[in-house]
Structure 1
């Protein structure tokens, strides 16, 4: 592939997209206004006024505010002042503000401190009047307490406190009073205590369990103690003296929970424990099925010889996406395409009609000698714009079908969305690079729009080059055919230049960036990855041999330089196999080495056997996005032909 500039390469696309947009907006359209110099001045004044308000410099604040009477972010100045002044003395202003901006991002930023103030002042009638759901759990408890003091009867009181009780975590101290009264009314039943123990064990705060155990009847407190034990050490279920038989149904619940954890840690012990417990505990059919599902998946991942046995114990009606995926991987590993074809043919139409299962039905048919049936499926599947559709087209030697169409909205709709107060506020926050505030306003805007107006909002975000929100907005309504908006040439010149510098395909770098952040420069993940290409600080340090700050990783030029360099290194380490490099970018180089097959394996089969579902989906998405970018900006050609013929080798190290 020639490495000419993205700008040159994409010029035809830019012209086409611009013409298409102009065509849509041409009817009754007015020329777009010249950038408003007054708005630019007001942005500077707003920042100064906000600073003055926070510092209590009232004379300066009032002077600046007087010049901002028509500025979209004026309500945020009023919010800043109301958060600082004595509340009851300004109650009328507070209530007017809350009424005017109820439901908007401005609402809760004032309502929360206002409710805190009213609760502290014991202003119960005002608190009840001004509370809005959902509020915080503290506020909900304060509301119930206030309503109780105002005459709330027992039955609705108990029902409301039930909702507070059923949490797997500790509740705020503001809830103590109503919980104590609720318990005195006899509402804290053994059933409700047991429900909370299960919530605390399964994803909640397990340190709550000993306290909750003490609330159980003496003769079954051993259940709470056992649950607490297996929460940290599921192997404890193997001990016979822990199962006292006083409450067999609840013991079966504990055993089900523990077995599903133990199978991932010590499969041999889990299998032997199950064989023993199945004889003494009354597992329900549902519990047996959920244990079988977990065992089937875990044993498949561990390549255990009993994996197939457990897959067979899960009925087709009970197969979820995860179990089905591992059943597919098991058949592919064994190269048992006859069983694979039979299983897919037996799936309910709602599942078997999915692109993944039609593709593998075709592959299984092809490999077992029924090429006519395979080609019929491939032909239909090749019409779709997804990973399996592109693979089907490659197998037929056909071009890819993008099925794209423009976002067709009227000028009236577009201008209506543009002039919505939340849209105007979002735009101003973007200009001020306050993206969290901008997204809050944008999310509120979307709740006020219908389907057609959502399209207009997506077009508007694209016009603002706010690409992550344009992509997300279309995804919200399931409108995926606006390919040019969903796959923009964002940071095109930067990505092209950096890719050319390190010798990788720019469309690959674009696809990675689209999948990692949807072109959100301030993106960050729970794992600590930052910026456009989601670089971990530890990775950045290795690549640069120097410390790189979070702030630097949010700078596009720094992030893209690091991301493309890292891609090139991974690509080189895998002998220019960009599929394995893509998997490594997500999961890590050494993980992918662990996943290499024992013998040469077709790429599509290897992808389905990637143990991490996140990496498996990631690879499929990046390959698909790369093809779309290639089609939009390079011309015709199916990059999936490389995948169709690719064999993953046992050794690249």
Structure 2
């Protein structure tokens, strides 16, 4: 792991506590320093032993293993060998290993292979004995089959197979036998088939629907066929032909599903279809509510004139974050602050107390002339460390409050966590730059710690400069006030130099990196983005006019130079507007062009109307992080003053 210089600021009280405890523990320091060379040598021997085990050089492997008995990763050498010879002849060794490391990452890597072997050998009794939940779906089916062969009663068998059946994807072939017997026993009812059709259509594999339709009684197979048609072409709802009236409740279920798709594709056809079907089909109250929520959101996003009508059809008890967000966006688009104020005041206290709604109640109160209420709300919000708090502080000219608190743990508590076997193994994997293995061990470690130990673990990860795990560990227990650990100056020199080179604010680049990867150099996304600043290979190729390998994108220097250069380009294209450049970094330049308003709009209002929820959250996070890093770099002032007074223009040509 390449080390980067960074600085963490602690309060004076914590420094005194740390120094006092350190004096008491001064004696072992020399031994720890002496062991550093030994550890380095052990890492080299570990790699050699691992290679020898994989190549079957047993005498070399055993010799090296004997020299590594006290090394934290020695169990992984034993695992490597057992994965190669884990047959019945070595059962005692396998079971001893599984017992010793049960529940750890070492356990599953061997157990999965061992269970597969036992199933292949027909060793049902051993399989049942050694299976641990949840296992793979294949193993779960093999377990049920083994239990059935050994006397599992019919009803218990049916209940267990129900859980295998109840999802929207294909099942492994290992499940075929139990599913066939389950069907013979009457477990596969039309209602269960219908339920799985719905799961396949809504988020599952829709290609399953024709197969499942064939399992339905012939008289209602038209329903499965209709579900399949609606899945791909919801406009079929506007036709009179599909509705036979054989099972009107199921027809209503299909229609409700299709209407929620149709409104996004062709809103006017969707509105017309609902008017026709609402009197023809017996929609339940829940179905009508779900349709109203989807119509309200879709029509708001499309700027449709009927958006507010549909928002009124959603009862207050059904309001969720998504629906509320687009109700807010609709009122902001209309400039109707009086209606917005009434909506917020009618929200349940648990929702209305959220920072977003307190801020917009302040804005709505101000816009409608209630200055007293507005100022009270702004004052309270300005004391908090988040996007809306920083906006409120800028609005009333009050200094930003970081609300930072140091982690109150002793060196002894940190040392206790460091000596945990999973922590020791994680650290060694970090040194070997095997970060996936390190994270597996760390995640297991966290399952064995309490809240105070979690804090010690976060501090330990920070000391290791393993920043993404320090951040994640604190987030797991909801401890957000350790600002200097959650916002480290990681890769500070690299980010500062690259930012200065292209003329952008270093705190901005730092905030983008914090949001994109939490300073995880080996990060990658499902979309293919890589490294610290999550650069897509296609973006890298365009910026460099050459192909860039994944390996290069994971190199901090290459990645940061590309990311900062790209930010500078986006900022230039938007006439130095870093807010729009930030949105473009997440959603793409041309998407943001599509989102520009028809007339000048205040920045805080425009952000709430960004169509992509991911980009809305991204903007709020990056702006907040930039402010935090700005202050941690010993700068003064509130960057949100620029946001508070900014107008987003219809064009930036």
Whether TM exceeds 0.5 here: the answer is yes
User: What aligned pairs does 1:70-219 form with structure 2 within 5 A after superposition?
Assistant: 70-219=70-219
Contact kept? 2:8, 2:484, Cα under 8 Å: no
Matched residue, 1:276: 276
Paired residue secondary structure (2:188): coil
Inter-partner Cα distance in structure 1 for 2:345 and 2:482: 33
Deviation at 1:293, TM superposition (A): 0.7
Deviation at 1:410, TM superposition (A): 2.0
Contact kept? 2:603, 2:647, Cα under 8 Å: yes
Deviation at 1:19, TM superposition (A): 6.3
Deviation at 1:167, TM superposition (A): 1.4
Matched residue, 1:3: none
Matched residue, 1:620: 620
> Cα RMSD over matched residues?
1.3
Deviation at 1:315, TM superposition (A): 1.3
Inter-partner Cα distance in structure 2 for 1:600 and 1:115: 64
Inter-partner Cα distance in structure 2 for 1:359 and 1:563: 33
Gaps of 5+ in 2: none
Contact kept? 1:24, 1:409, Cα under 8 Å: no
Normalised by the length of structure 1, the TM-score is 0.97
Aligned pair partner of 1:25 in 14, 18, 24: 18
Deviations 1:372-403 (CA, angstroms, capped at 9, x unpaired):
11000001111111000111111110000111
Deviation at 1:20, TM superposition (A): 6.4
Matched residue, 2:242: 242
Contact kept? 2:586, 2:615, Cα under 8 Å: yes
How many equivalent pairs are there? Answer: 643
Inter-partner Cα distance in structure 2 for 1:362 and 1:370: 9
Contact kept? 1:27, 1:411, Cα under 8 Å: no
Inter-partner Cα distance in structure 2 for 1:413 and 1:476: 19
Deviations 1:448-479 (CA, angstroms, capped at 9, x unpaired):
00000000000000000000000000000000
Deviation at 1:18, TM superposition (A): 8.9
Inter-partner Cα distance in structure 2 for 1:556 and 1:187: 56
Matched residue, 2:53: 53
Paired residue secondary structure (1:110): helix
Contact kept? 1:513, 1:532, Cα under 8 Å: yes
Paired residue secondary structure (1:644): helix
Deviations 1:190-221 (CA, angstroms, capped at 9, x unpaired):
11111111111111111111111111111111
Deviation at 1:597, TM superposition (A): 1.0
Deviations 1:538-564 (CA, angstroms, capped at 9, x unpaired):
100110000001110000000000000
User: What aligned pairs does 1:548-563 form with structure 2 within 5 A after superposition?
Assistant: 548-563=548-563
Contact kept? 2:256, 2:291, Cα under 8 Å: yes
User: What aligned pairs does 1:474-623 form with structure 2 within 5 A after superposition?
Assistant: 474-623=474-623
Gaps of 5+ in 1: 1-5
Matched residue, 2:436: 436
Inter-partner Cα distance in structure 2 for 1:279 and 1:16: 66
Contact kept? 1:20, 1:406, Cα under 8 Å: no
Inter-partner Cα distance in structure 1 for 2:635 and 2:536: 34
Deviation at 1:613, TM superposition (A): 0.6
Deviation at 1:268, TM superposition (A): 1.3
Contact kept? 2:83, 2:110, Cα under 8 Å: yes
User: What aligned pairs does 1:227-376 form with structure 2 within 5 A after superposition?
Assistant: 227-376=227-376
Deviation at 1:27, TM superposition (A): 3.8
Deviation at 1:21, TM superposition (A): 5.5
Inter-partner Cα distance in structure 1 for 2:339 and 2:528: 43
Deviation at 1:67, TM superposition (A): 1.0
Normalised by the length of structure 2, the TM-score is 0.97
Contact kept? 1:523, 1:531, Cα under 8 Å: yes
Deviation at 1:153, TM superposition (A): 0.7
Inter-partner Cα distance in structure 2 for 1:603 and 1:455: 37
Deviation at 1:411, TM superposition (A): 2.2
Inter-partner Cα distance in structure 2 for 1:15 and 1:441: 25
Deviations 1:155-198 (CA, angstroms, capped at 9, x unpaired):
11111000011011111111111111111111111111111111
